[in-house]
Structure 1
Amino acid sequence: MSKLSDAANAAMKEVFGLREGEEVLIITNPGGDWFEVSQALYDATKALGGKPVIMVQDKRARIEFTERLVLEAIRAKPDITISCGEAHYGSDPFGVNIGYVGRDGKKHDNAFRMLIYGDRRMRGVLTGRPGIKDIFERCMNIDYAAMRERIKALSDVLDKGNEIRVTSPGGTDVTLSIKGRKAHADDGDLRHAGLFGNLPCGEVFLSPVVGKCNGIMVFDSTITLDNASVLPDKPVQVTVMDGLVTDVQGGETARALLNVIRKGEQMARDKGLKEHEKNARHIGELGIGMNPMAGPSTNLLEAEKALKTIHFAIGENFDHDAPALIHQDCLILRPSMWVDERQIMKNGDLRL
């Protein structure tokens, strides 16, 4: 087998625990190595006794609408849905404008999320972007048991915590409340319905309490913009007050990030979505990279999994109480982190 075939087999067997007869929907874009990875996932699914289907649409930004037929395929409730494209799979117009109510009684702004979190009838991942073939081959064949053990230890600390402080050599100094929040473990265990993650996997993340984040963040590694992730020309300094971005300073990348935020605000304003407009400046995520094979990259799916990094996201959160039309991940190198004054990371090294 090729390295790519081995990686795809690890995804379907070790991560998804694919069972014979399960339906797998793979959403991709034309051309590029993401299509090659999609084909490898299709082949691995078939070899393991699953029922794969590939759907191809033009690439989408997160704030652009998904093709109707692709949405219909998602609504058909496959056991597994994999988005593997050049960019995001897109947004759901019904979900954004009206909303789906899941069996959990909560409103969800797309069918993908509703079927996973609301109804717990599906499991799924996001993967892809340029360079994904190389990343798959390097980052998928890992010791999942060892990584899951470390992720559980970190998640347990975060689940018991009330407040986090993050600093970095680049100038970050920010404090956020996590009281009552639970950590999400992207630990490569998607063997049961209701679970979501990335390929490659390896991250612990949570949603800060809405309105309870203050300080300075200095992003000196990968930053997501409209349809791509970039390494900043200069570190991007973001000021946060009461959970919202109030200032963005730096070079060209800083200006581009601010433009994406404003675009998210304008799109929400045009749709009359006042809460989405406000939350385009909301700090929606704190994430910690945990994959031992991941490294610095302009592909966010690898970069945010890299050891010795923390990332924050501007926009939508994962606890469904701060909806937005954007979610812009931004990385910090060699961070230090305290949970309720207990230092659990020093210059990027976990101390658990």
Structure 2
Amino acid sequence: RSDCDVTSLIDKESYKRTKIKSGSYANFPSGEAFVTPEGIKGTAIGDVVINVDQSYVIPEKRPIILEFTEKGYKVLKAPLKIKKAMVKERKEAWQKIKDLEKSKALPKDIINIYKKSFWKVGEFSINTNPKAKLCNYLIVNEKIARMIHIALGLGYEPDRKTTYHWDIVINSPRQKLDIYGVDKKR
């Protein structure tokens, strides 16, 4: 049993105009503030959990180490099982883009966005839910207060779409973060 009740109300007038069933999708529990970053530079250490083809708890002594540049990201170090899953999933995701391109299932400009975003960070999120605890569900883990998460691949903006999205939860009190806006001000 939960400590809250949730009811979805669908605005019939909005549905008639847009054909979108508002309220039919949700991300529970709540507890994150996210953006699609223009870029990330430096190094990140994924030390809690990653979701590739499934959720993996990252061994404390063997974190995922990522390097970020203007071109995108590079995995410097990761537990072998996780690294193999990343290589396999990334290969399949790239093949999907190639298949979509070959079949002309999507316009060329969309395919180009998929390619351009492939090695980018799609999400930077501050986790804020004080009741969320580490468990087997990424949807909960990515909300644990005092942590952050980044997602490799697909972002939320229309110009940051691609064929995969991997969330990596980071225990942020253990790490140094310098966050700048687009105007380079802290």
Query: When the two structures are superposed, what TM-score results if normalisation uses the length of structure 2?
Result: 0.76
Choose 1 or 2 for highest CA Rg. 1
Match of 2:43 among 216, 221, 229: 216
In structure 1, what residue type is equivalent to 2:40? C
Contact 1:222/1:297, CA 8 A, preserved across alignment: no
Alpha-carbon offset, residue 317 of structure 1: 0.9
Question: 1:297: how far off?
Answer: 2.4
Partner Cα separation in structure 2 for residue 290 and residue 275 of structure 1: 31
Q: Which amino acid aligns with 1:297?
A: C
Residue 326 in 1 paired to residue 164 in 2?
yes
Identify if the C-alpha distance between structure 1 residues 267 and 78 changes in structure 2 by more than 3 Å, giving closer, same or farther: same
How many residue pairs were aligned? 163
Match of residue 309 from structure 1? 147
More strand by share: 1
CA RMSD of aligned residues (A): 2.4
Correspondence list, 1:194-213, <5 A? 198-209=27-38, 212-213=39-40
In structure 2, distance between residues paired with 1:240 and 1:339? 14
In 2: Cα distance, 1:265 partner to 1:307 partner: 33
Query: 1:248 and 1:270 mapped to 2: Cα distance?
Result: 29
Instruction: Tell me, in whole angstroms, the C-alpha distance in 2 between the residues paired with 1:262 and 1:241.
Output: 21
Which position in structure 1 is the counterpart of 2:106? none
- What percentage of residue pairs aligned between the two structures are identical? 22
Q: State the 1:248 CA deviation.
A: 4.2
Partner Cα separation in structure 2 for residue 247 and residue 229 of structure 1: 18
Q: Aligned equivalents of 1:262 and 1:278: distance in 2?
A: 15
Deviation string for 1:34-87 (max 9, x for gaps)? xxxxxxxxxxxxxxxxxxxxxxxxxxxxxxxxxxxxxxxxx9532321xxxxxx
Looking at structure 1, the residues matched to 19 and 45 of structure 2 have their Cα atoms a distance apart, in angstroms, of: 43
Q: Does 1:80 align with 2:23?
A: yes
List aligned pairs for 1:70-219, cutoff 5 A: 76-81=19-24, 124-125=25-26, 198-209=27-38, 212-219=39-46
1:269 matched residue in structure 2: 98
Letter paired with 1:260: E
Is the Cα contact below 8 Å between 1:275 and 1:324 reproduced in 2?
Answer: yes
Q: 1:231 aligns with which of 57, 82, 87?
A: 57
Q: Which amino acid aligns with 2:138?
A: L
Question: 1:204 touches 1:287 (CA, 8 Å); kept in 2?
Answer: yes
Q: TM-score, normalised by structure 1?
A: 0.42
- Ranges in structure 1 where 5+ consecutive residues have no aligned partner: 23-74, 82-123, 126-197, 343-352
CA shift at 1:240, angstroms?
Answer: 1.8
Task: Give the distance between the partners of 1:291 and 1:339, measured in 2 at CA.
Answer: 21
Q: Which residue of 2 aligns with 1:289?
A: 127
